[in-house]
Amino acid sequence: MAIKFGRPIENPRATRQAASLDLVVRPRRNRRNAWVRRMVRENTLTTDDLIWPLFVVDGSRLRVPVPSMPGVERLSIDEAVRAAEHAARLDIPCIALFPYTDPSLRDEDGSEATNPDNLICRTVRAIKKEVPDIGILCDVALDPYTSHGHDGLLRGEEIVNDETVAVLVEQALVQARAGCDIIAPSDMMDGRVGAIRAALDDDGRSEVVIMAYAAKFASAFYGPFRDAVGSSKTLMGDKRTYQMDPANTDEALREVELDIEEGADMVMVKPGMPYLDVLWRVKDAFALPTFAYQVSGEYAMIMAAANNGWLDGERAMMESLIAFKRAGADGVLSYFALRVAEKLKAAG
Ligand code: PBG
């Protein structure tokens, strides 16, 4: 007779000893104590899995709290350098930089994005000088620079594609020339990865990596990020004509495939936790280095609940990160990165 998983086997003894189920298979044996749980653990989280996003602001000795992201601050360049040092000491391999652009520098066309001396380029140069051994990722999109808060150029009611790509190429070039290691286009315009790859190569920068925000959804979970970069009040309308419909996954595979054909070295799925199914399918289909972005709203939810005493914040943080590993992520962009790295280091 076949053994049914977890079910009593027909055995006359079972009826005599009602207190015992007489199970052959007891999955709980592998969970009895910490050492055996460690033996059978299928996935692990290490600091190598972490990318830490930082927000920068002009000025010096500034740490400006972002109210909708408790524990996250906008840092002036000197403070960002110190944060990068701290991250490097903890063996975090890479940081991601996002600017809070002064409102006076924002305009219709986001022209500050292509200024070789903009806040991001100055930050990259300062960090590269002081902390040469940490990777730097820069976002490519116009939203921190436009007066309307969109990632591309607004012409009438429309975010125009090809004209925007030309500007994004310039933005990627100034960032790469400043020393950025990974260019991460997050704008979701068609054809931008190929155009950026060609321009970087023409500029003698074939070593610069492209991590495409390949499957990026039009999500409500970006709200606190827009507070941090100062675009939430100014954003006109929504981003549904370029970011993906949260209902779709086949489309995500097509987007990822296109970005790979255009030259992406790494791909990303964003947001993270509500899209683990997409992450799994992408990793399974393409086997490329695949990253997840645990976005600002996911961070804010955990922090808000933790600060209210509604859940154990530390455990929720660690559980959320192992979930990304289980779903196939090679790494995670997370605002928890520093805290997680500290915890992992303390645990030895
Ligand atoms: C810029 C960009 C956004 C995020 C990363 N890059 C916001 C958006 O697309 O509106 C969101 C990150 C987060 O929420 O933590 N295009």
* Ligand 1 pocket test target in 222, 227, 240, 301 with most atoms within 8 Å of CB: 222
The CATH class for the domain spanning 47-347 reads: alpha beta
Residue 4 has pLDDT above 60, yes or no: no
Confidence of residue 19 (pLDDT cuts 50, 70, 90): confident
Three-state secondary structure along the chain? CCCCCCCCCCCHHHHHCCCCCCCCCCHHHHHCCHHHHHHHCCCCCCHHHEEEEEEEECCCCCEEECCCCCCCEEECHHHHHHHHHHHHHCCCCEEEEEEECCHHHCECCCHHHHCCCCHHHHHHHHHHHHCCCCEEEEEECCCCCECCCCCCEEECCEEEHHHHHHHHHHHHHHHHHHCCCEEEECCCCCCHHHHHHHHHHHCCCCCCEEEEEEEEECCHHHHHHHHHHCCCCCCCCCCCCCCECCCCCHHHHHHHHHHHHCCCCEEEEECCHHHHHHHHHHHHHHCCCEEEEECHHHHHHHHHHHHCCCCCHHHHHHHHHHHHHHCCCCEEEECCHHHHHHHHHHCC
pLDDT in tens, 128-157: 999 999 999 999 999 999 999 999 999 999
**Cα–Cα dist 301/298, whole Å:** 5
pLDDT averaged over the chain? 95
* Ligand 1 pocket test target in 54, 143, 229 with most atoms within 8 Å of CB: 143
Q: Is 239 a catalytic residue?
A: no
Q: Is 283 a catalytic residue?
A: no
Mean pLDDT along residues 205-234: 95
312 CA from centroid of ligand 1 (Å): 27
Q: Given CA atoms 332, 333, 336, 337 in this order, what sign does their dihedral have?
A: positive
Pocket residues: Cβ below 6 A from ligand 1 = 139, 141, 143, 151, 186, 222, 225-226, 239, 295-296
Residue 15 has pLDDT above 60, yes or no: no
224 CA from centroid of ligand 1 (Å): 9
pLDDT in tens, 265-318: 999 999 999 999 999 999 999 999 999 999 999 999 999 999 999 999 999 999
Residue 239 has pLDDT above 50, yes or no: yes
pLDDT in tens, 32-85: 999 999 999 999 999 999 999 999 999 999 999 999 999 999 999 999 999 999
Residue nearest to atom 14 of ligand 1 (CA): 222
Is the distance from CB of 44 to CB of 325 less than 8 angstroms? yes
Q: What is the pLDDT of residue 1?
A: 44
Beta bridge partners of 94: 51, 135
Atom of ligand 1 nearest to the CA of 141: 16
Residue nearest to atom 6 of ligand 1 (CA): 186
**Cα–Cα dist 329/13, whole Å:** 48
Residue 245 has pLDDT above 90, yes or no: yes
Atom of ligand 1 nearest to the CA of 297: 14
Confidence of residue 178 (pLDDT cuts 50, 70, 90): very high
8 CA from centroid of ligand 1 (Å): 52
C-alpha closest to that of 338 among 89, 1, 122: 89
177 CA from centroid of ligand 1 (Å): 23
pLDDT in tens, 112-123: 999 999 999 999
Confidence of residue 233 (pLDDT cuts 50, 70, 90): confident
Q: What is the pLDDT of residue 18?
A: 64
Give the distance, in angstroms, between the CA of residue 192 and the centroid of all CA atoms in the same chain: 19
Residue nearest to atom 8 of ligand 1 (CA): 222
**Cα–Cα dist 6/23, whole Å:** 7
Is the distance from CB of 309 to CB of 348 less than 8 angstroms? no
244 CA from centroid of ligand 1 (Å): 13
Please name the residue that has the structure tokens 């310039």.
170
Name which of 60-74, 204-218, 231-245, 277-291 the model is least confident about.
Answer: 231-245
Q: What is the pLDDT of residue 8?
A: 54
Token digits of residue 169: 């190429």
Strands 94-100 and 153-155: unpaired
271 CA from centroid of ligand 1 (Å): 9
Q: What percent of the chain clears pLDDT 70, i.e. is strictly above it?
A: 95
Residue nearest to atom 2 of ligand 1 (CA): 186
Is the distance from CB of 328 to CB of 313 less than 8 angstroms? no
Each domain of the chain, given as residue ranges in start order, spans: 1-41, 47-347
- Name 51's Cβ contacts closer than 8 Å, sequence gap at least 6: 92, 93, 94, 95, 96, 137, 291, 331, 332, 333, 334, 337
Atom of ligand 1 nearest to the CA of 295: 15
Catalytic-role residue among 216, 239, 283, 325 = 216
Q: What is the pLDDT of residue 232?
A: 87
